[in-house]
């Protein structure tokens, strides 16, 4: 029964780590590309979300580290046993969580320093968080090429997910004419980012599956198919945003804002489902290759 509890808890913890990590990194990328179009209100909003995501990510990462002791001991009370907690430091998962803890700490602390240190801490924090994903899991077992694919994949998906909250917030600001320029330019960047995202995702999935047939014949492949289906739906919504809703923003700002906000709400919900299926793949299911 305890095993069943950890089987449920671990993917949930991992989902929250993905959410806070990718949104934090994505917002940093979003600011890098579009801050020149921001006003003070939007800039403050982005910084607040990064700060909140970093704090929540730090808390979840600590919980994830403690949960390793629970997995090692096989019961809930094991998370309080000092010997098992010390042993957690020697595990690959433990080291990955330590990268997360330090990375989120840098993001959290950055807001208490002047601009130059703020930017440096944001960059350093983002790098450490990205590293945490490539020192553990399937990419580690497949070597440097797979780790490189995952690194690029994370950067690209962060840019995509990190746009949701600021764009949604901009849809609530009346007469914010820069929304069109940001949304239009985001669409141009997204073509590159999402193109690379799809390419790296497909190559990495093929490496893990060892072929096409396991998509149908294995549980891992079936869950991956569900993930790919949801991603396809988000891509369709993104295409509708780019070719229909964004041009409408230029013609009728208020109507375009409402439609874009509703569309982003659907994308946010869908992205959570994508990250949850990803967490199941990385924590609960072996690949067809036995990894």
pLDDT in the model for residue 211:
80
Task: Tell me how many degrees the CA angle 163-168-171 measures, rounded to the nearest 5.
Answer: 130
| pLDDT beyond 60 at 132 | yes
User: Is residue 29 scored above 70 in pLDDT?
Assistant: yes
Q: What is the mean pLDDT of the chain?
A: 88
Q: How is the chain split into domains, by residue range?
A: 2-283
* Mean pLDDT confidence for 12-19: 90
Q: Over range 228-233, report the average pLDDT.
A: 92
Q: What is the distance between the alpha carbons of residues 58 and 21, in angstroms, rounded to a whole number?
A: 10
pTM of the model: 0.87
Q: Does 291 have pLDDT greater than 60?
A: no
Is 23 within 8 Å of 49 (Cβ atoms)?
A: yes
Does residue 289 carry a pLDDT above 70?
Answer: no
In this predicted structure, the answer to whether residue 120 has a pLDDT above a threshold of 90 is: yes
Give the pLDDT score at 74. Answer: 65
Higher pLDDT, 42 or 140: 42
pLDDT at site 50: 93
User: For residue 137, is pLDDT > 70?
Assistant: no
Once rounded to an integer, what is the mean pLDDT over residues 208-237? 89
Task: Choose the weakest-confidence range: 12-26, 73-87, 88-102, 191-205.
Answer: 73-87
Closest to 283 measured CA to CA, from 107, 136, 119: 136
Average pLDDT for residues 207-235, to the nearest whole number? 89
| pLDDT surpassing 80 at residue 6 | no
Residue 159 has pLDDT above 50, yes or no: yes
Cβ(274)–Cβ(231) under 8 Å? yes
Residue 76 reports pLDDT greater than 80 = no
Query: From the CA atom positions of the chain, what is the Rg in Å?
Result: 20
Q: List pLDDT tens digits, range 144-153.
A: 888 899 999 9
């Amino acid at each position: 029964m305890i095993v069943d509890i950890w089987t449920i808890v671990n993917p949930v913890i991992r989902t929250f780590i993905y959410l806070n990590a990718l949104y934090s990194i994505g917002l940093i990328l979003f600011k890098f590309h579009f801050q020149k179009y921001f006003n003070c209100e939007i800039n403050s909003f982005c910084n607040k979300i990064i700060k909140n995501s970093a704090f929540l990510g730090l808390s979840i990462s600590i919980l994830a580290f403690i949960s390793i002791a629970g997995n090692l001991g096989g019961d809930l009370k094991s998370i309080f046993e000092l010997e098992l907690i010390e042993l957690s430091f020697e595990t690959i998962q433990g080291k990955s969580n330590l990268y997360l803890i330090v990375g989120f700490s840098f993001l959290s602390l950055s807001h208490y320093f002047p601009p130059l240190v703020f930017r440096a801490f944001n960059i350093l924090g983002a790098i450490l968080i990205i590293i945490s994903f490539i020192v553990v899991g399937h990419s580690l077992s497949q070597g440097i090429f797979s780790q490189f694919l995952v690194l690029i994949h994370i950067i690209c998906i962060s840019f995509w997910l990190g746009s949701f909250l600021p764009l949604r917030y901009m849809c609530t600001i009346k007469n914010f004419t820069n929304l069109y320029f940001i949304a239009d330019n985001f669409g141009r960047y997204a073509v590159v980012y999402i193109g690379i995202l799809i390419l790296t995702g497909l190559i990495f999935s093929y490496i893990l599956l060892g072929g096409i047939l396991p998509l149908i014949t294995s549980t891992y492949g079936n869950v991956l198919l569900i993930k790919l289906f949801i991603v396809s739906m988000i891509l369709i919504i993104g295409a509708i945003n780019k070719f229909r809703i964004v041009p409408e923003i230029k013609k009728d700002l208020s109507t375009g804002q409402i439609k874009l906000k509703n569309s982003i709400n659907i994308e946010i919900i869908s992205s959570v489902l994508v990250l949850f299926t990803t967490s199941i793949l990385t924590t609960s299911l072996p690949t067809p290759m036995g990894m």
